[in-house]
């Protein structure tokens, strides 16, 4: 049986979807028992050559030609942004269509409203491609771990920053040199701000956490720090201490409260997550029954993302053909967890201070930390070269972030400490 | 709506399934919209305490009480072995029930017959738990990559051997010491033969490959070698050369032919697969659209395996409630690929020879290799200590295994070469 789809947004990913549906047409129908027919493609630019066969699909520049066409069953939204995309998704759901999107910014900004609309209309809004591209993490969480209880998510969900950090670690490049190379290779945009400052990772983490914990996330309480201030010095100290610096998206559920943060984090160099390199993404889950599990793949790019979009389309098509009732509630909140401020969460920390040489230096600093209830697990202090400030690197044991920040503020106020102390998180990941 | 399940086999995994269904009952029904009721549990030993609440399930020692009960929708087969298990699965399918199993040996031996039975009766035989325990690899292949084309599978699918190799690498233990520790920790059985010699990994690889390539596999043509002959020396040489030794299950589809092998293999130490340690399992896929992707988790144990069993049960339950037609063909062969003998496949190789010291030694050996069309990419020859034979380690470029084995046979026949040369495969995995 044939299911009819319409595509809005014929850009990079859209082209990948058209190519995949075209090339794999026969295999898809053999495997799944359904035929997905791409009936219409909408884009404002219909002139540009995409090097892909659009088959029998009608091309149009008006998305109304898809959302108002009663013969279309599934709308694929690949417009990007949060204005037109929001209208496309909302109108499609209202018109009784199922929607597949890859738009994490849309879900971050308007997810609550759009999922509620899907529930009201008993239609599905699927979004596998919106988080970690081709990694089937949404399906793993909703289906494979349906009977489990996820308590922690660790994600490397931004390929641009992972590429930059990998090159800093492996080639000892500066941040600027690594960013330039990422741009040359197409792994970073001309304006990479939303990747570099952690905003992109934050959107994805919020989507993943609301799904894994089945609760609403207070977005104002997600801690966010990018990699723009990461210095090669810190990357090298981390290495010396047996750690690798990653831009880690972390979400935890503990005792009915959730906490979310995106920040540069030290992870042990021998864990599999530390070895997810370059543009690759990874999501690690810790759950009650399965324990640790890790999913790695390409988080961006036309073909990987298209794979995820097509998987969602085929899954919807199978259900449509089977006349199966849709469970729009599958993504709705179940739990009423509060979002805890990052200041009230505990972590281990990496601190790097620049100080003048003087007697009793370490005694003063460790006393301040001790007074705030913070113990130290490792120290590196190297001999001074010339009259450069002396760097001191400290690793702490578990501490409340509020206490840690208070202690660091006191340290920064010391007359012999130069400039702000670098603070990075440490996560002792085993897998 | 309620779906009724019966469990045959109340051992370790069965206990995990009963626990998971019991503890997560409410969450499962909230998430999936269905209620799974465990109506009957069958085992020959009903006396032993399992420390788990069996709820309202009736206990029995006769599996007929499940397969002949018309009210049971889904049969969970966790008996193990291939005799009773085969009868339970076949009778359940014939009686019109869907079946969930974790039994890789059963599928390896009788899969063809049982899947055909499922197709004939239009019922599903689900087996997520049979390969790599809690890693949802079956679902990833069948659903997430439904539109993709998988060309290579790399698997670390046996936890016992991965634990042993990890300890040999990290602690420089001998094979015997590592095996003993694995047995103490419950990661190896009293008789570990089927794990150590690669048989267990071979069963899993055959199941994965037939699913990923959607073809029949000629089991007589799967190359298999265990880790019983791996020496600490080779583990350390590999490390020196930048590689890690893993018992790798490899399946490739090239130009309409498939090749499968399980053997100790060198993988680059910086790839994520190399850092999958101890009892963890991993499956890496290379596919046309998604590219490289990797899935890591616990391959054995009551709770991880139970997670996979329950995911299959819930998925079937959702379809039953939705009155959706079942697509038993989802696992049937589509392609008519021949299985190529491992001798006709190409690979890179690690060779370790033990020789007497003599002039022109390397010239003779490299000439033999050259005459068989084999080039060398790296050599380590260390100075002799005492009158021990001198070890020479060679890494080759890509070569046909048939040529390589002929060359090694000629080398082994040289008067100054002591004992058989060690041959290990090398896979240059990037992810």
Q: How far apart are CA B431 and CA B426, in angstroms?
A: 15
- If DSSP codes are grouped into helix, strand and coil, which group holds residue B17? helix
Is A338 inside any structural domain? no
Q: How far apart are CA A268 and CA B272, in angstroms?
A: 13
Structure pTM?
Answer: 0.94
User: Do B147 and B290 fall into the same domain?
Assistant: yes
Q: How far apart are CA A299 and CA B353, in angstroms?
A: 44
Tokens representing residue B160 in the block? 């016992």
Binned at pLDDT 50, 70 and 90, residue B325 comes out as low
**Chain B contacts of A246, Cβ < 8 Å?**
none
User: Do B166 and B191 fall into the same domain?
Assistant: yes
Would you list the DSSP string of B205-229? HHHHHHHHHTB---GGG-EE--STT
Find all residues with CB under 8 Å of A12, minimum gap 6, and list them.
A301, A302
Q: Are strands B35-42 and B58-60 parallel, antiparallel or unpaired?
A: parallel
Residue B28's pLDDT is 83
Phi/psi of residue A305, nearest 5 degrees:
-65, -40
User: Do B178 and B322 fall into the same domain?
Assistant: no
| Chains A–B, number of C-beta pairs less than 8 Å apart | 210
What chain A residue is nearest to B274 in terms of C-alpha separation? Answer: A272
Do A295 and B292 count as a contact with CB atoms less than 8 A apart?
A: no
Closest CA to B425 of B341, B347, B353: B347
Do B144 and A139 count as a contact with CB atoms less than 8 A apart?
A: yes
Task: Fill in the DSSP letter of residue B198.
Answer: S
Residue B328's pLDDT is 65
Q: How far apart are CA B37 and CA B47, in angstroms?
A: 23
Q: How far apart are CA B75 and CA B322, in angstroms?
A: 19
**Chain A contacts of B292, Cβ < 8 Å?**
280, 297-298
CATH number of residue B291's parent domain: 3.30.360.10
Q: How far apart are CA A120 and CA B182, in angstroms?
A: 54
Find all residues with CB under 8 Å of A190, minimum gap 6, and list them.
A183
| B290 vs A139, A303, A431: nearest CB | A303
Is B256 inside any structural domain? yes
Which residue among the candidates B4, B97, B104, B204 is catalytic per the annotation?
B204
**Chain B contacts of A300, Cβ < 8 Å?**
none
Is B340 inside any structural domain? no
The neighbour count for residue A65, using CB atoms within 10 Å, is 18
Do B147 and A21 count as a contact with CB atoms less than 8 A apart?
A: yes
Is B337 inside any structural domain? no
pLDDT(B122) > 70 = yes
CATH number of residue B365's parent domain: 3.30.70.260
- Is residue B382 within 8 A of residue B353, CB to CB? The reply is no
Residue A258's pLDDT is 97
- Is residue A264 within 8 A of residue A244, CB to CB? The reply is no
- If DSSP codes are grouped into helix, strand and coil, which group holds residue A223? strand
Instruction: Look up A382 and say whether it is catalytic.
Output: no
Mutation to test the B interface, candidates A13, A15, A24, A31, most B Cβ within 10 Å: A31
List Cα–Cα distances, A257 to A212, A248, A261, A338, A425, in angstroms.
13, 20, 14, 5, 20
Tokens 């021990």 identify what position? Answer: B388
Domain of residue B319, residue span: 2-133+302-331
Is B208 inside any structural domain? yes
Please give the tally of structural domains in chain A: 3
Do B322 and A318 count as a contact with CB atoms less than 8 A apart?
A: no
Q: Report the pLDDT averaged over residues B98-125.
A: 95
Contacts 24+ apart (CB under 8 A), B378-384: B378/B241, B380/B237, B380/B240, B380/B241, B384/B357
Tokens representing residue B162 in the block? 């991965």
The predicted complex's ipTM stands at 0.93
| Residue B210: alpha-carbon gap to chain centroid | 13
Mutation to test the B interface, candidates A3, A5, A146, most B Cβ within 10 Å: A146
Q: How far apart are CA B303 and CA B309, in angstroms?
A: 10
User: Do B319 and B191 fall into the same domain?
Assistant: no
A160's enclosing H/E stretch is helix A159-171
Q: How far apart are CA B232 and CA B245, in angstroms?
A: 10
Do B431 and A33 count as a contact with CB atoms less than 8 A apart?
A: no
User: Do B313 and B418 fall into the same domain?
Assistant: no
Q: Report pLDDT digits (tens) over B145-157.
A: 988 999 999 999 9
User: Do A126 and A244 fall into the same domain?
Assistant: no
Mutation to test the A interface, candidates B289, B296, B300, most A Cβ within 10 Å: B289
Burial class (CB in 10 A: 0-12, 13-18, 19+), B387: exposed
Q: How close, in Å, is residue A170 to chain B by CA atoms?
A: 11
Which residue among the candidates A4, A97, A204, A246 is catalytic per the annotation?
A204
User: Do A263 and A355 fall into the same domain?
Assistant: no
| Top-confidence residue, A376 or B32 | A376
Q: Are strands B291-298 and A257-268 parallel, antiparallel or unpaired?
A: unpaired
Task: Fill in the DSSP letter of residue A144.
Answer: I
**Chain A contacts of B276, Cβ < 8 Å?**
272
HSE, side-chain direction, 13 A CA sphere, residue B221: 17
Q: How close, in Å, is residue A205 to chain B by CA atoms?
A: 19
Q: Report the pLDDT averaged over residues B330-348.
A: 90
**Chain A contacts of B318, Cβ < 8 Å?**
327
Is A397 inside any structural domain? yes
| B296 vs A134, A149, A293: nearest CB | A293
User: Do B125 and B191 fall into the same domain?
Assistant: no
Mutation to test the B interface, candidates A293, A312, A318, A327, most B Cβ within 10 Å: A293
Q: How far apart are CA B98 and CA B76, in angstroms?
A: 9
Closest CA to A69 of A42, A95, A88, A90: A95
Do B24 and A272 count as a contact with CB atoms less than 8 A apart?
A: no
Do B324 and A327 count as a contact with CB atoms less than 8 A apart?
A: no
Residue A27's pLDDT is 81
Do A297 and B292 count as a contact with CB atoms less than 8 A apart?
A: yes
Q: How close, in Å, is residue B127 to chain A by CA atoms?
A: 12
| A146 vs B31, B145, B327: nearest CB | B31
- Is residue A342 within 8 A of residue A400, CB to CB? The reply is no
| A294 vs B296, B307, B308: nearest CB | B296
| A148 vs B271, B307, B318: nearest CB | B307
Do A311 and B27 count as a contact with CB atoms less than 8 A apart?
A: no
- Is residue A348 within 8 A of residue A426, CB to CB? The reply is yes
Do B297 and A297 count as a contact with CB atoms less than 8 A apart?
A: no
Is B338 inside any structural domain? no
Q: How close, in Å, is residue B388 to chain A by CA atoms?
A: 35
Q: How close, in Å, is residue A289 to chain B by CA atoms?
A: 5
Do A295 and B294 count as a contact with CB atoms less than 8 A apart?
A: yes
Rounded (to 5) percent helix, strand, coil in chain B? 40, 25, 35
Residue B32's pLDDT is 81
What chain A residue is nearest to B289 in terms of C-alpha separation? Answer: A303
Tokens 């079942």 identify what position? Answer: B326
CATH number of residue B50's parent domain: 3.40.50.720
**Chain B contacts of A147, Cβ < 8 Å?**
20-21, 24, 27-28, 307, 310-311, 314
Q: How close, in Å, is residue A380 to chain B by CA atoms?
A: 25
| B272 vs A31, A135, A275: nearest CB | A275
Closest CA to B297 of B121, B162, B98: B162
User: Do B148 and B83 fall into the same domain?
Assistant: no
Q: How close, in Å, is residue B149 to chain A by CA atoms?
A: 8
Is B336 inside any structural domain? no
Do B139 and A144 count as a contact with CB atoms less than 8 A apart?
A: yes
What chain B residue is nearest to A128 in terms of C-alpha separation? Answer: B144
**Chain A contacts of B277, Cβ < 8 Å?**
270, 272
User: Do A294 and A154 fall into the same domain?
Assistant: yes
List Cα–Cα distances, B62 to A346, B14, B37, in angstroms.
53, 16, 19
Please give the average pLDDT of every successive group of 10 residues along chain A, which has 431 residues: 94 95 85 90 93 93 97 97 97 97 95 94 94 93 91 97 95 95 91 96 96 94 94 95 97 96 96 93 96 94 93 91 71 89 95 91 95 96 84 97 98 94 96 88
User: Do B202 and B97 fall into the same domain?
Assistant: no
What chain B residue is nearest to A136 in terms of C-alpha separation? Answer: B144
Cross-strand bridge partners of residue B77: B8, B101
- Average pLDDT taken over every residue of chain B: 93
User: Do A127 and A167 fall into the same domain?
Assistant: no
Find all residues with CB under 8 Å of B165, minimum gap 6, and list them.
B178, B227, B230, B235, B245, B246, B247, B264
Find all residues with CB under 8 Å of A268, minimum gap 6, and list them.
A242, A243, A244, A274, A428, A429, A430
Q: How far apart are CA A212 and CA A152, in angstroms?
A: 9
Q: How close, in Å, is residue B243 to chain A by CA atoms?
A: 14
Do A322 and B324 count as a contact with CB atoms less than 8 A apart?
A: yes
Closest CA to B179 of B313, B170, B191, A281: B191
Phi/psi of residue B34, nearest 5 degrees:
-130, 160
């Amino acid at each position: 049986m044939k299911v009819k789809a319409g595509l809005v947004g014929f850009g990079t990913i859209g082209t990948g979807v058209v190519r995949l549906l075209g090339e794999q047409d026969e295999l898809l129908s053999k495997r799944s028992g359904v035929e997905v027919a791409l009936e219409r493609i909408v884009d404002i630019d219909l002139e540009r050559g995409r090097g892909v066969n659009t088959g029998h699909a009608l091309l149009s520049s008006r998305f109304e030609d898809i959302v108002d066409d009663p013969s279309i069953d599934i709308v694929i939204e690949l417009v990007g942004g949060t204005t037109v995309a929001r209208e496309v998704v909302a109108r499609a759901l209202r018109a009784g269509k199922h929607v597949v999107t890859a738009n994490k910014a849309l879900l971050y900004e308007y997810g609550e409203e759009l999922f509620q609309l899907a529930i009201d209309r008993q239609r599905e809004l699927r979004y596998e491609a919106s988080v970690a591209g081709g990694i089937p993490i949404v399906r793993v969480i909703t289906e494979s771990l349906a009977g489990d209880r996820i308590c922690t998510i660790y994600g490397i969900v931004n390929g641009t920053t992972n590429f930059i950090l990998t090159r800093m670690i492996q080639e000892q490049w500066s941040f600027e040199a690594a960013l330039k190379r990422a741009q040359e290779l197409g792994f970073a945009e001309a304006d990479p701000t939303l990747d570099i400052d952690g905003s992109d990772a934050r959107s994805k983490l919020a989507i993943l956490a609301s799904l894994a914990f089945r609760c609403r996330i207070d977005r104002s309480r997600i801690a966010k720090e990018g990699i723009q201030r990461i210095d090669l010095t810190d990357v090298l100290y981390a290495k010396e201490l047996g750690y690798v610096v990653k831009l880690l998206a972390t979400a935890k559920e503990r005792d009915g409260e959730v906490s979310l943060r995106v920040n540069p984090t030290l992870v042990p160099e021998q864990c599999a997550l530390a070895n997810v390199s370059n543009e690759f993404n990874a999501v690690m889950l810790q759950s009650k029954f399965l324990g640790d599990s890790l999913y790695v793949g390409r988080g961006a790019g036309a073909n990987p993302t298209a794979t995820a979009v097509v998987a969602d389309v085929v899954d919807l098509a199978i259900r449509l053909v089977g006349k199966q009732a849709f469970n729009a509630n599958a993504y709705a909140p179940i739990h009423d967890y509060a979002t805890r401020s990052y200041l009230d969460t505990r972590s281990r920390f990496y601190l790097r201070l620049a100080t003048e040489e003087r007697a009793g230096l370490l005694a003063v600093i460790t006393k301040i930390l001790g007074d705030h209830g913070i113990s130290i697990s490792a120290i590196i202090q190297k001999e001074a070269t010339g009259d450069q400030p002396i760097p001191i690197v400290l690793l702490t044991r578990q501490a409340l972030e509020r206490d840690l920040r208070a202690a660091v503020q006191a340290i920064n106020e010391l007359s012999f400490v130069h400039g702000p102390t670098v603070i990075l998180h440490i996560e002792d990941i085993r897998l």
